[in-house]
Amino acid sequence: MAMPMQINLDELLSMVLARVDSLSFSDENQKTKFNILARVLYRKGLLTDEDVLESVREEHRVLKELGLIPELPSEEALKTMADSVLLWIKGDVPTIRKSMEEYDRKMREMAVQEAQAQKSRIEVAPSSVLQQIDRMSGKKPGGKLIV
């Protein structure tokens, strides 16, 4: 009977990270190929803004019918998605940069709001929990616990 192969945690993590890196590179490669081909089709007039919007609409219809999304996005949301795809196809760098900066700003604001919400939260434990803590710590009941 063959001995089972043994690997340590470092080797396992290295293998997993190498695979993640490979998948990440593959994903970027696919995006680049898509952008190149879509730009060719767009410049030749074989792909229009309406084609992109219709394809986004169709994609979400399929996702809904498969049960992967609960409902179809609004027409405005579909248009926003199509516009985002078209920015990349058209290679509109200033608008892409502006939207990336706006996204980054919103994410920072949300992080600050979350941090403030965590700081200002006051939680009060029921008296039964406080009594249980008192019993576990060996202190006489009725002590005050502030954390």
pLDDT in tens, 79-112: 999 999 999 999 999 999 999 999 999 999 999 8
Q: Are 51 and 42 in contact (CB under 8 A)?
A: no
In a domain, 144, yes or no: no
- Which pLDDT score, from 0 to 100, does residue 141 have? 56
Residue 66 lies in a domain: yes
In a domain, 131, yes or no: no
Q: Is residue 135 part of a domain?
A: no
- Domain containing 89 equals 10-122
For residue 112, the tally of other CB atoms under 10 A from its CB is 10
pTM tops 0.85 = no
Q: Please give the Cα distance from 3 to 143 (Å, whole number).
A: 59
- 6: which 2 tokens? 């043994």
Identity at 24, one-letter amino acid code: S
Strands (DSSP E) found in 56-128:
none
3-state SS class at 141: coil
The Cα diameter of the chain in Å comes to 83
Task: Please enumerate, as own/partner, the contacts of 44-52 that have beta carbons within 8 Å and a separation of 24 or more.
Answer: 47/89, 49/82, 49/86, 52/82, 52/85, 52/86, 52/89
Residue 81 placed within a domain: yes
Rg of the chain's alpha carbons, rounded to an integer?
27
Dihedral through CA 52, CA 54, CA 57, CA 62, nearest 10? -100
Q: Could you tell me if residue 68 is inside a domain? A: yes
Read off the pLDDT of residues 23-32 as tens digits, 9 standing for 90 and up. 999 999 999 9
Domain count, the chain: 1
Q: What is the residue-level pLDDT of the chain in tens, covering all 147 positions? A: 667 778 888 888 999 999 999 999 999 999 999 999 999 999 999 999 999 999 999 999 999 999 999 999 999 999 999 999 999 999 999 999 999 999 999 999 999 888 887 776 667 778 787 778 777 777 665 555 555
Looking at residue 140, what is its pLDDT? 62
Record the tokens describing residue 46, joined without a space.
């074989």
Element (H, E) at 113: helix 93-119
Does residue 93 form part of some domain?
Answer: yes
- 92 found inside a domain: yes
